[in-house]
Amino acid sequence: MTDGRHTEDGARAGAALLAHPTHTERGDSMTMTPEQAGWFSGVFDRLVQNIDRVLLGKSHVIRLALVALLSEGHLLLEDYPGTGKTSLARAMAESVRGTTNRVQFTPDLLPGDITGVNIYDQRTGAFEFHRGPVFANIVLADEINRASPKTQSALLEVMEEQQVTVDGVRHQVGEPFMVIATQNPIEQAGTYRLPEAQLDRFLMKASIGYPDHEATLRILEGAERRAHEIVVPEIISAETVIEMADLARGVHVDPTINDYVSRLVDASRSADEIRLGVSVRGALALVRAAKTLAAASGRYYVTPDDVKALAEPVLAHRLVLDPEAEFEGVTASSVVGQLLIEVPPPSDRAAV
């Protein structure tokens, strides 16, 4: 494992790469260079290895979570209790020298319990804003679908604009900012279905799942240590996260890739099993995430395989199934899989 000082040296080197004069500008963005892609991939892999010390055997989910973070998006996890959701959020925050807060959603939770409230101070004779738990780099919204729709909607503004408005005054939550929300399977008692508008705010949806046999044995071997006692070392600073997100925006996307994403989205809207297809926000999310995945793979350009790898976690939760298709056992994931079969991708050569 690389020690913290060496990693910070690498982070400073990455910052130097960000300002390198050989960048070519495209409007307000700059194209990523091969050297920057290599540095990005190295830091990304170290982050995955670091978080894997806490969330054993779940490197795929860790990679998705980091892709969401570096794409400046949010992650929805649908899982049963005890699968490591809180540990994932805490390990991510510790790895990037960030802050983390956890909100347990319950039926009696109010919007002000999330965003914060103005409280009258008798000493000063004025109202003072008391920040809510959303003022952190990584916010874990646990069991989000146990709260009322009104409370769930309190997250919409902060997820989209990184700010909250209380009594007409806007308060910025800062950068980087990411919401990791968890929800119980909707068939469980006491749950509310998330509104489509809120689901669309999540960059991707994934599931941690239970560990396999080998990972379970490793967990049991360390049973004497409680999960919150495991501290992972810092890999990069929160400022470097912002710089990496800026770098990811500069990954090259060939017009054939944009055409491929557009055709996938169009096909989702005309599928017989679908009542509501993927929105424009969903198409943009897929391109953004594909850029980050390409950089994490050491490339400065997106390939069709990047789009395919992220299509299910980015698009499936945005689809609204036809009730008859849902009754027959059709799932959103299976529809996305069928779309990937039916919609031909461009050749890799055309995408470079």
Let me know: does 301 contact 254? Beta carbons within 8 Å: yes
Range of the domain at 321: 251-351
pLDDT tens per residue across span 223-236: 556 655 667 889 99
* pTM value > 0.75: yes
Instruction: Indicate if the pLDDT at residue 60 is higher than 80.
Output: yes
Look up residue 95 and give its two tokens: 């790895």
pLDDT tens per residue across span 30-40: 789 999 999 99
Q: How far is CA 59 from the centre of its chain?
A: 15
What integer pLDDT is reported at residue 220 of this predicted model? 75
Domain total in the chain = 1
Is 269 domain-assigned?
Answer: yes
pLDDT tens per residue across span 159-206: 888 888 888 888 999 889 999 988 876 555 556 677 777 888 899 999
- 184 vs 57, more confident: 57
CATH of the domain at 335: 1.10.8.80
Task: Name the 3-class secondary structure at 288.
Answer: helix
State which amino acid sits at residue 218: R
Let me know: does 103 contact 94? Beta carbons within 8 Å: no
What integer pLDDT is reported at residue 292 of this predicted model? 97
Instruction: Indicate if the pLDDT at residue 138 is higher than 70.
Output: yes
Is 104 domain-assigned?
Answer: no
| pLDDT above 70 coverage of the chain, percent | 85
Is 279 domain-assigned?
Answer: yes
Let me know: does 249 contact 91? Beta carbons within 8 Å: no
Among residues 198, 199, 197, 194, the alpha carbon closest in space to that of 184 is found at: 194
Is 91 domain-assigned?
Answer: no
Alpha-carbon dihedral of residues 201, 207, 208, 209, nearest 10 degrees? 160
pLDDT tens per residue across span 233-252: 899 999 999 999 999 999 99
Is 302 domain-assigned?
Answer: yes
Is 188 domain-assigned?
Answer: no
Instruction: Indicate if the pLDDT at residue 137 is higher than 70.
Output: yes
Average pLDDT estimate for 115-126: 89
Instruction: Indicate if the pLDDT at residue 67 is higher than 60.
Output: yes
Cα separation, 295 vs 292, whole angstroms: 5
Phi (first) and psi of residue 191, to 5 degrees:
-110, 150
Is 274 domain-assigned?
Answer: yes
Is 172 domain-assigned?
Answer: no
Let me know: does 193 contact 149? Beta carbons within 8 Å: no
CB atoms within 10 A of CB 186: 11
- 83 vs 292, more confident: 292
